[in-house]
Amino acid sequence: MAKAKTTKSKKNFFTENSMNFIRTYLNNSSPTGYESSGQKIWLDYLKPYIDSHIVDHYGTVVGVINPDAPYKVVIEAHADEISWYVKYITSDGFIHVCRNGGSDHQIAPSKRVNIYTKKEL
């Protein structure tokens, strides 16, 4: 006789809060040079779990657990994303771009693009 399978209820790893965070973070515009909004979203989510934090001018946020202990736990995230600037638009609607930061031009073809104006930043 075959053993009866027992079904354990699986606890969902993701909470509603964590899913809201990841949706907000991934849908946020945070291009090189304008990382502050991504830093803020990440840090706001992390604050309940850390004791202190550091934010630098290069797009990095560091959360620290036990900052006064000999061994600290550091959670680090760099918050910028690949971005390009519109150089000009031709009369027939083609958009010509130039790189912002060190992004690789070979990854650009056929990728989804969000275009932001100064008002939307």
- pLDDT given at position 38: 87
- pLDDT given at position 90: 94
108/121 Cα distance (integer angstroms):
21
Q: How confident is the model at residue 80 (pLDDT cuts 50, 70, 90)?
A: confident
- pLDDT given at position 50: 95
118/121 Cα distance (integer angstroms):
6
Higher model confidence: residue 4 or residue 66?
A: 66
Token pair for residue 26? 């991934």
Helices (H), strands (E): how many in the chain?
A: 2, 5
Judged against a pLDDT cut of 90, whether residue 81 lies above it is answered with: no
Judged against a pLDDT cut of 60, whether residue 120 lies above it is answered with: no
Domain boundaries, the chain: 16-81, 83-121
pLDDT tens figures, 19-39:
999 999 888 888 888 888 888
CA angle (109 as vertex; 107, 110 as ends), nearest 5: 115
pLDDT tens figures, 28-75:
888 888 888 888 999 999 999 999 998 887 768 899 999 999 999 999
